[in-house]
Each structure stands twice: as C-alpha cells, then as structure tokens.
Amino acid sequence: MKNSGVCPKCQSTDIKINSLGSWGNMTAGNFYRCTTCGFTEIWSGKGHQRDMKILIGVSIGGCIIALGMLVYFVMNS
Ligand SMILES: [Zn+2]
C-alpha cells in the first residue's frame, strides 16, 4: 500500500498518511489508512533506527580510543 498507493482490501486509492511519534525531524513510523474501508498499514522508520545504532557505535568507539590514549600517557609519564 505504501508503494502502490492502492488499498489491498478494496482497491481504493483514497489513502491517508499519518506520522507516528516524531522527535524533531525523526519519525518513528507512518500510518497508511484507507479512508474507504479503514484498512491500516504501519511502516516503522527502520532507516532512522540504523542511523542511531551507527551513531552509538561511533561514540562508544571514541570512548575506547580516549581511554587508550589516557593509558598511554599514564604509562609514559
Ligand atoms: Zn480499503
């Protein structure tokens, strides 16, 4: 329904899109609701979740490098 824009239940093209829980410009997901029969599809924002994991991974990696540098300076002092 998201890609075709057609309701799989009644073949209506009258689809309404609603955003679900957004923080700033980040969206948790979208509701695709057929206004004719009420059929609803929910699409979660998987792309945003992956971006957040990458961001967390980078910050943890940065902490390990900082800790390693601290140990290096202590050992050489
Ligand atoms: Zn429908």
* 62 vs 8 pLDDT, higher one: 8
pLDDT surpasses 60 at 6? yes
* 73 vs 36 pLDDT, higher one: 36
* Residue 5 φ/ψ region, left for φ over 0, alpha for ψ in the -120 to 50 degree band, beta for the rest: left
Distances (CA, A) of 23 to 26, 27, 46, 48, 51: 5, 7, 15, 11, 14
Domain ranges of the chain: 1-44, 46-77
| Whole-number pLDDT of residue 54 | 62
21 half-sphere exposure, CB direction, 13 A CA radius: 7
Question: How far is 70 from 64, CA to CA, in rounded Å?
Answer: 10
pTM: 0.48
Ligand 1 centroid to 45 CA: how many Å? Answer: 23
Kindly report, residue by residue over 17-63, the tens digit of the pLDDT.
877 655 565 566 778 899 999 998 887 765 556 666 666 676 777 77
Ligand 1 centroid to 34 CA: how many Å? Answer: 5
